[in-house]
Amino acid sequence: MLRKSLAAMLIGSALAVSPALSQQPPPAFEPRDETPEMYPDHPNREETFYFCIACHSFQIVAQQGLSRHRWDEVLTFMTERHKMPDVQGDDREKMLDYLSSAFPERQQRGWKNPFAPQ
Amino acid sequence: MARRRERSIEEMYAEDAERADAVAFGRRADVSRRGFLNGAGLAAMSAAVGGTIVHSATMPGGLIPAALAQEAKKAPEAAAAAKAPQPFSFPGKDPGLTLLGERPLVAETPEHLLDDETTPFSKFFIRNNGQLPDPPAQPDTWELTIDGEVNSPLKLTLGELKKRFAEKSVHAVLECGGNGRSFYTPSARGNQWTNGGAGCAKWTGASLAEVLKAAGPKSSAVYTAHYGTDQHLSGDPKQLTLSRGMPIPKAMEAEALIVWAMNDEALPNIHGGPLRLMIPGWPGSLSHKWLNKITLRDKEHDGPGMTGTSYRVPIQPMVPGGKPDSKNFKILESMPVRGIVTNPANGAKLAAGTRELALRGAAWAGDNSVKAVHVSTDFGSTWQPTQLGAPRNRFDWQRWTANIKLPSDGYYEIWVRATDSQDRMQPHVAPNWNPQGYGGNPMHRIAVLVG
């Protein structure tokens, strides 16, 4: 399922940008290619990687360090704010598995908040 | 199968900072939680930072030395970072900028590269939300529309704008609303800015107030809405990348400009050229790039970036990491006070025998001015005032200098704390946690080594 929705997105975005690309001079900045191998090797890496890079580089994903429930909030935010396809069920769980294991909540330094959600 | 795994210094400090002190360095702090009991651990920690910790008597227990904290922060991503493309490269930009992401292109300026009185193009941070538009062949034909709650909507080319309105320049800080986000714990989501989502340039253009007045705002106009030509990253032409706005009184301030030049050069494409807004003191997202329309509205604007927890902070503090209640959020308007050391750089090594050090830095405070900047070399136990310069105009940053004594060779941390004109000081930690990390202005901290 994840692969199908990903393919649909890739095709959608390719159609949207290709006419412009054929007429324009080369852009001032060309993002470098990324591959899944650049990021931590955990299950569901490829599916998650290709889903996210349909729109943006994976660098912004890898900058984050979040708990599973906050990664879930990120997916909801991406759907509400940026109209990302609303992935639910097993596919969502798989992505959350990868995101929360590859980019887990960063442990805080020093003082610990006694009220922090467990 | 149990697997033994190397733990990073950061993880050890996270679990139990005082135990980490003991395990990593054999350190025990006294009952005041400062200093080193019987000197325990001082030698080990000194060895780790590469020199004697001179003000060790007041160093708080469980504090990761700044020299290690920077490394520690990188540790969890080290495996990925080793393979990922990291260096920043963009025509005319300093390769020392820190790349945060390429699509969209985002890069921040390390504090030590903000040492110029006016930040040059080469060192100015980059923040994009969408795709980078191609520069127009004829910038003067760029069109700007003013519509909505106005009596006579305007459509002006850049050429007409330049002819019809008086040219005005201000030196002003442009600062990303999320500047300082990386200092939040637990981490806030979004680009992990340190202090470098900011710079101070000379901006030249027309007064926004004059242009809006020319369109005759109706009494029903209470809020602006800004639009630009950059496409959403999804490639969907119907989707707006970002559209923010502000109350009319902010738009009518003397320093709010429609800008076509930066540092006396035509506004570069990467910074929104040929035309952008410059709304100093408030989050940079209001200073819309590639500006082609301003709509006056009869209510608070609700475009992408105005709602939810975007560019908003809690009214009453929430539990860090908890679930946000959108009713408890208000729009982030004036940016909080922030001071930085711009020279020396964090990690500077000074010759043995150096006993005095000249510091330079900058401080700014959103809508307010900076009243004082203090520095501490003993982990905040004592503070000394700095010589604080005046702003060239409202919204300019203020440069400061200080001389500090270095009583012996060894390791020093220099903390800087700015106070705004309303007597609000920078806190020790990023305050008022929120999921997207707005308002993070803890004191800047650098480490230097003598000898």
Bond into B186 cis (ω within 30):
yes
* Cα–Cα distance for residue pair B137/B145, rounded to 1 Å: 20
- Give the best residue of B234, B267, B306 to mutate against chain A (max A CB count within 10 A): B234
Say which CATH class B121-331 falls into.
alpha beta
Name residue A113's amino acid. Answer: N
Residue A76 lies inside a defined structural domain of this protein? yes
Tell whether B234 is within 8 A of chain A (Cβ).
yes
Residues of chain B with CATH 2.60.40.650: 338-450
* Cα–Cα distance for residue pair B135/B132, rounded to 1 Å: 9
Taking the CA atoms of B400, B450, B119 and B99 in sequence, report the sign of the dihedral they define: negative
* Cα–Cα distance for residue pair B400/B388, rounded to 1 Å: 4
Tell me the per-residue pLDDT of A58-89, one tens digit each, with 9 for 90 and over. Answer: 999 999 999 999 999 999 999 999 999 999 99
B189/A74 CB distance under 8 A:
yes
Average pLDDT over residues B400-408: 97
- Residue A69 belongs to domain spanning: 41-103
Binding-face residues of B in 353-392 toward A, CB within 8 A: none
ipTM: 0.75
Binding-face residues of A in 78-117 toward B, CB within 8 A: 80-83, 105-113, 115-117
Edge-first strand order for the sheet with B223-228 is: B154-157, B143-148, B291-297, B223-228
Residue A109 lies inside a defined structural domain of this protein? no
- Report the pLDDT value the prediction gives residue A8, as an integer from 0 to 100: 45
Per-residue buried b or exposed e for B289-313, using 16+ beta carbons within 10 Å of the residue's own CB: bbbebbbbbeeebebbbbbbbbbbb
Residue A81 lies inside a defined structural domain of this protein? yes
Burial (Cβ within 10 Å: 0-12, 13-18, ≥19) of residue B385: exposed
- Give the best residue of A29, A69, A77, A80 to mutate against chain B (max B CB count within 10 A): A29
Query: Nearest CA of chain B to the CA of A90: how many Å?
Result: 24
Structure tokens at B222: 């209470």
CATH code assigned at A94: 1.10.760.10
* Cα–Cα distance for residue pair B255/B363, rounded to 1 Å: 19
Residue of A nearest to B69 (CA): A109
Tell whether B116 is within 8 A of chain A (Cβ).
no
Query: Nearest CA of chain A to the CA of B42: how many Å?
Result: 18
* Cα–Cα distance for residue pair A14/A26, rounded to 1 Å: 17
Out of A24, A66, A106, closest to residue B76 by CB: A106
Q: Is B74 helix (H, G, I), strand (E, B) or coil?
A: helix
Considering only B70-84, B244-258, B291-305, B372-386, which range has the smallest mean pLDDT?
B70-84
Say which CATH class B338-450 falls into.
mainly beta
Is pLDDT above 90 for B375?
yes
Residue A23 lies inside a defined structural domain of this protein? no
What domain count does chain A have?
1
* Cα–Cα distance for residue pair B378/B380, rounded to 1 Å: 6
Is pLDDT above 50 for B104?
yes
- Report the pLDDT value the prediction gives residue A106, as an integer from 0 to 100: 77
Residue of A nearest to B323 (CA): A70
Average pLDDT over residues B116-144: 97
